[in-house]
A and B are shown apart, each in its own frame.
Chain A
Amino acid sequence: MEDTMQRNTLRAGLLVTAAILVAASIFLPLWGMTLVSVQYPEGLRMVVYPTKIVGDITELNLLNHYIGMAEISEDFFVELDTLPILFGVIALSTVTVAFVRRWWAAAVPLAVMAGTAIYGFWSMSRRLYEYGHNLDPTAAIRVEPFTPPMIGEHVIAQFGTYSYFSWGTFLPAVAGLMVAYVLWSDVRSRGRLAPVRETRPARLLRNPLGVEG
């Protein structure tokens, strides 16, 4: 019995922590790229958050226009509207699972997480590809279409580039592992998830219409 209580505490602790990590990530950088050349020794930076794109965007756009690359602007990224909502949904649903002790409950936030991850990475690779390929054919300098690298150190024209993922990607990943662990553990102890004391919100979630069955 003591073991079950401790297990439940750990379960709730993991889920709440995971929710906090995901919620915090709304305000943390997801991904970034630093470009360095002889004339930009201090580097040009672009950092993508779930809600915004910051860095030397004006200067990057100015340089990119010579090869006919489209303008990088927050206005063009629907992701900046959807990602914070998705992160919020993940955080809320993860917290909720702490109060819904069903063996399958953790699968819900985990599925949303997986969906968000797929959407995020797909969207990112699509964006990188499009920026590097949809080049204005009338641009002053014509370059072979290319895909800016998503990760690691590379050389693009006169620039050394370093692309990296950051806190906003890593923390949700850890949160995902935590929720996955909870799900795995819940599935294993299926049937033995005795609610010690069902709270009102949990009851409402379990049986929103109040129909006793």
Chain B
Amino acid sequence: MNNRTMGVIAAVAAAIVVVGWFATRSGRRPAVPGEQVMATADVQAAALRTYVKPGDLDEYYLFYSGGHSGQVYVAGVPSMRHIATIPVFTPYPGTGYGFDEETKAMLGGYTWGDVHHPALSKTNGDYDGRWLFVNDNANNRVARIDLRDFKTKQILGPIPNTMGNHGSSMVTDNTEYALVATRFSVPVPQRYEPLEDYATKYKGAVTGIKIDPNTGEMSIGWQILTPPFNWDLGATGKGPSHGWAFWTSYNSERATGKLEVTASQRDRDYVAVVDWRAAERAVREGRARRISGVPVIDPAEVPGVMYLVPCAKSPHGVDVDPSGEYIICSGKLSPTVTVYSWQKLKQAIDSKAFTGHEDGIPVIDYDQVVVMEVPVGLGPLHTQFDGRGNAYTSLFVESAVVKWKLPPYEPGTDPESLILQKIPVHFNIGHLVTAHGDTRNPRGDYLVAMNKLSKGRHLNVGPSLPESSQLIDIKTGDRMTMLYEAFTEPEPHFAQLVHRDVLNPIEFYPKEENRNPNAIWSPQEARVVRNARTRTVEAWVYAIRTYFEPGRIQVQEGDTVIIHITNAEQQRDEIHGFGIAEYNKNIVIDPGETKTVKFVADKYGVYPYYCTNFCSALHQEMQGYIEVVPRGMRLTMYDNGEGEMRFERREPALAMAGHEGH
């Protein structure tokens, strides 16, 4: 072979090698915008900041909404450990919620709810640790949890004229009101109108739930009828803006059908600005109509109650900064948050700087009230604060939290210069919460990002995945630093992050506070009484370590059985359960508590009842039997089948010895 041939072959070979090198680069992974890798030193620092050693307590309570699980989850921060589940809208056999007569009545036949936005009660704009309010987006309810015992105490609703209570349950500075709003407009009052008439015959509503300052008891204060926009999130004024409430809307197009397109056509939707003192006054002065038993205000007839201000496209969150001077609206489909000045809003309202109206509700001149459109990034949803002049906004599309500077701004400030830092989160953040982040005095140390997708950042648990939450330090070095992540069941929306010093829960129910007429405090008081005429057996059962008195209850097949159980313990964590096999009942009674369970003994035989909540070494022995005597067969423990049931009473000490000796 001559040199030229060799040369050509070599050139071809070289070309293939070069090409091959380029071609194999096709698998290369481009960099994730903003991606950060934790260095070893960062990992160590984060571990130390989140480690709570056995026996030590977390600094903060984190109250997560449980979404369509219908519950509230309690975790500790900084450890992120799940501590408890507070059942609210869904039965929960773990604490017997929804099985006893009282909680069953509270649930009103519903077996689920959709908890979105928990709100702690406030005094002077700060958390006072008394109550936690949560909304039900599905069945239009609001519930109150008492933080003295972490139990749901009241469920209000379904609230009339409201459908899809999403923009809820934010509370005002002194817990005067909790907010409620319609997300899915329907005809008001509820009736049939064809969907074609949506824009004209369907209505939305925003509502103030009045809260009794002493008992926390909720009732409907006022309701304002609105055009059929989809009300999204709400916020209450603080300081100078106290007395006002705000809600974002999407679908100001009043569209139906494929909303992802039809409700995304206008470049701006509205924020509602509601003077709730004026609403209160209108109701007092009789300027409200009763619709479905609720005082309803038509804002076209009662001027001064409601205004609208345009806001960047299809907004989600509206949030009021700690000073109460700036209102921030996150335009989900616009890469900006809109910052309004309260002072300018008030001036515009007072000077009637309106550009038009929607069904008689004045639309405020946007240009007169906006301070800045801050270019935060893609998919801004919700904003919280640190009390040091910074805001933190969740970016759903970008999967990040952005930190930016709040006003006041120098004239001519470059909007881009307001963006201070971005940190990626995993993945697709919805809401975020900072410590005391919606009060007048945020603590500014922790931020929890509530991410909608976890996408396998945990051990693989199959296709049904939990949600991920990430803890971010926002204090050290005045920067955001990723610390830790944890997983919850579906699906935290918003949360409240409150310092442990604000709360002061009890350890058990003191005997002297038990006002239940069916409470009994000694085995001698235990009794079973049958009424043959009404075919009812009523039992007063005493529960203590480790027996139930009586250890048997005899009933006739078909009898209605009512059992009142008192847990006579006065010791922390001595909880007793009362489960009845094959009768689908389980109630759990905390120390010092009395609960009632009711059922019809519709199948004969002998069914054990037993303690379901592990209580002591002889927990397994804590049991008894319900004897269901077939129809027509004689009851052996009663005289003539009625009156008081005879059974062998045990002296407390003997009973304990005898029972446990088996």
Tell me the complex Cα distance, A75–B555, Å.
73
Question: Which residues of the other chain, A, contact B426 by a CB distance below 8 angstroms?
Answer: 38-39
Q: CB-CB < 8 A to B41: which residues of A?
A: none
B461 is an interface residue with CB less than 8 A from chain A:
no
Q: How far is the CB of B25 from chain A (nearest CB, A)?
A: 6
Which of A32, A36, A140, A178 touches B333 (beta carbons < 8 Å)?
Answer: A140
Q: Which residues 112-143 of A sit at the B interface, judged by CB distance below 8 A?
A: 138-142
Is A153 in contact with B31, judged by CB distance below 8 angstroms? yes
Bound Cα distance from A41 to B426, whole angstroms: 10
Taking the nearest CB of chain A, how far is it from the CB of B200, in angstroms? 23
Stretch at the interface among B116-124, B179-187, B393-401, B653-661: B393-401
Q: Does B32 contact A (CB under 8 A)?
A: yes
**CB atoms of A167 and B23 under 8 A apart:** yes
Interface size on B, as a range, is 35 or more
Q: How far is the CB of A181 from chain B (nearest CB, A)?
A: 7
A6 to B9 CA separation, bound complex (whole angstroms): 13
Check A161 for interface membership: any CB of B closer than 8 A. Answer: yes
Given contacts A139-B261, A141-B333, contact A29 B30 (CB under 8 A): no
CA distance A166 to B23 in the complex (A): 4
Contact residue among A36, A155, A177 (Cβ-Cβ distance under 8 Å from B29): A36
Task: Please name 22 pairs of A and B residues whose Cβ atoms are closer than 8 Å in the assembled complex, sorted by A.
Answer: A6-B5, A17-B12, A37-B32, A38-B34, A38-B425, A39-B399, A39-B428, A47-B26, A138-B264, A153-B30, A153-B31, A155-B33, A157-B378, A157-B397, A158-B378, A158-B398, A160-B32, A164-B22, A164-B28, A165-B26, A167-B20, A174-B12
Residues of A within 8 A of B23 (CB): 165-167, 170
Q: How far does the Cβ of A140 sit from chain B's closest Cβ, in whole Å?
A: 4
B414 to chain A: which residues have CB within 8 Å?
none
Q: How far is the CA of A138 from the CA of B8 in the complex (A)?
A: 58
Q: Do the beta carbons of B12 and A178 come within 8 Å of each other?
A: yes
* Closest A residue by C-beta to B263: A140
Contacts of B400 in A (CB 8 A): 38
| Closest Cβ–Cβ distance, residue B354 to chain A (whole Å) | 27
Given contacts A6-B1, A39-B428, contact A165 B22 (CB under 8 A): yes
Given A6-B2, A141-B264: A41 and B32 interface contact (C-beta under 8 Å): yes
CB <8 Å contact, A140 and B31: no
Residue A34 interfacial (CB < 8 Å): yes
Q: Can you name 4 extra interface pairs (CB under 8 A) apart from A167-B23, A170-B23?
A: A3-B2, A17-B12, A166-B23, A174-B19
Is B16 in contact with chain A by the CB < 8 A criterion?
yes
Within 8 A of B (CB), among A61-115: 66
Find residues 3-41 in chain A having any chain B CB closer than 8 Å to their own CB. Answer: 3, 6-7, 10, 14, 17, 29, 32, 34-39, 41
Question: Does A171 belong to the interface (CB within 8 Å)?
Answer: yes
Main secondary structure of the interface of A (DSSP, over half): mixed
Given the known A-B contacts A39-B428, A141-B333, are A162 and B22 also in contact in the complex, defined by CB atoms under 8 Å? no
- Taking a contact as CB atoms under 8 Å apart, the answer to whether B30 and A161 are in contact is yes
B427 CB contacts on chain A under 8 angstroms? 38-39
Q: Does A193 contact B (CB under 8 A)?
A: no
Given contacts A38-B426, A39-B428, A162-B28, contact A138 B265 (CB under 8 A): yes
Chain A residue nearest to B6 (CB atoms) is: A10
> Measuring CB to CB, which residues of chain A are less than 8 angstroms from any residue of chain B?
3, 6-7, 10, 14, 17, 29, 32, 34-39, 41, 43, 47, 66, 138-142, 153, 155, 157-162, 164-167, 170-171, 173-174, 177-178, 181
Pick the contact of A140: B1, B26, B264, B425 (CB < 8 A): B264
Residues of A within 8 A of B453 (CB): 39
Contacts of B501 in A (CB 8 A): none
Per the bound structure, the CA–CA distance linking A34 and B28 in Å amounts to: 8
* B33 and A37 within 8 A (CB): yes
Is B19 a contact of A171 with CB atoms below 8 Å? Answer: yes
Does B600 reach chain A (CB closer than 8 Å)?
A: no
B260 interfacial by beta-carbon distance below 8 Å = yes
Interface centre among A29, A158, A162 (most CB of B within 10 A): A158
Task: Give the chain A neighbours of B304 by CB distance below 8 A.
Answer: none
Nearest CB on B from A17, distance (A)? 7
State the CA gap A167–B19 with chains docked (Å).
7
* B12, B30, B426, B455 pick with most chain A CB within 10 angstroms: B30
Of A3, A47, A166, A177, chain B has the most CB atoms within 10 Å of the CB of: A166
Q: Residues of B contacting A138 with CB < 8 Å?
A: 261, 264-265
When distances are taken between beta carbons in the complex, the residues of chain B under 8 Å from A155 are: 33
Bound together, the chains give a CA A155 to CA B35 distance in angstroms of: 13
Instruction: Count chain A CB atoms within 10 A of each CB in B12, B26, B427 and give the residue with the most.
Output: B26
Contact of B160 with A by CB under 8 A: no
When the two chains form their complex, are residues A34 and B22 in contact, meaning their CB atoms are under 8 A apart?
no
